[in-house]
Amino acid sequence: MMAAATELNVQGEIRYDEPMSRHTSWRVGGPAETFFVPANVDDLSQFLAELDAGTPIFWHGVGSNLLVRDGGLSGVVISATKMLRDLDRVDEDRVRAGAGVPCTQLARQCIRWGLGPSEFFAGIPGTVGGALAMNAGAHGGETWERVASVRTIDRDGVVHERTPDDFEVAYRSVNGPENEWFLEATFYFDPDVEPSMDAMKAMLERRKSTQPLGLPSCGSVFRNPPGDFSARLIEAAGLKGQRIGGAEVSTKHANFIINREDATASDIESLIEHVRQTVLDVHGVSLQHEVRIVGEVAS
């Protein structure tokens, strides 16, 4: 695979054995065998079209909801968020946003345009692409409630225009055509809903006061179970402050695991499993993790 990638004619940047700890919000993770930063969509399309069909591909955003194991990732990691940053108003109530646009930027600009409800996007860490991939939500709003259409690219480099009917969307879950990745989305808003910059600022202040934002983490580790909150269950099980190696259950928000002191991905994954098993033993509730765990265990 390395030889195949080396022979590709690209405008962007190809790196080898790139530490994924540089590209995840937990600041952990082994090396990516090949790390590609395309220059533009045409460059990305050509790269995919020429890539060996058997090469594994991992699409990387900003790594805000990602745990890469210490053994790293084989194949190619594609980091395209820097080029997918366009944000335009399409018409009176629709906005087109590239997959690399930070959700907070989307919220701020929609509020400036007077488009609502859009404030909830400010509560979503990461980018539009990541929010689309997992139907991220905050403060009562979910990404796919606002999606009018999306553009995707498949592993052959072909761009597709798709509607929500092409996807199965649920709470923190999106299933669609296999081996396609989001390039951009068009969102629609309600012209009768007046957004509030003050409301958005209040959301961000609340997030700042209740979450350990100054330390490496991935945001919420577990999905909320029906009718309850993962943080409440974890705290009630006496897990706040629990540590494995350099990983710690936050004392500020129990559904956050922080890299307290040079944690490894193995420390974090072990602590995730310890929390899951303890909550199951204490409460009889099986928590499902929201974070995506990928890569190889270090040998």
68-80 exposure pattern, b = at least 16 Cβ within 10 A, e = fewer: bbbbbbbbbbbbb
SS3 85: coil
Which pTM value belongs to this model? 0.87
Q: How confident is the model at residue 7 (pLDDT cuts 50, 70, 90)?
A: low
229-273 pLDDT tens trace: 999 999 999 999 999 999 999 999 999 999 998 999 999 999 999
Residue pair 184/150 in contact (Cβ under 8 Å)? The answer is yes
| Residues contacting 145, CB < 8 A, separation 6+ | none
In order of their start, the domains of the chain are 2-79 (3.30.43.10), 87-188 (3.30.465.10), 212-294 (3.90.78.10)
Q: Where are the alpha helices (DSSP H) in 7-115?
A: 41-50, 103-112
Residue pair 136/142 in contact (Cβ under 8 Å)? The answer is yes
**Radius of gyration (Cα) for the chain, nearest Å?**
20
Q: Enter the tokens of residue 208.
A: 């700042």
Distance CA 1, CA 5 (A): 6
Catalytic center residues: 172, 220, 290
Number of C-beta neighbours around residue 183 at 10 A: 21
Residue pair 267/247 in contact (Cβ under 8 Å)? The answer is yes
Return the percentage of the chain with pLDDT > 90, whole number.
Answer: 77
Residue pair 100/128 in contact (Cβ under 8 Å)? The answer is yes
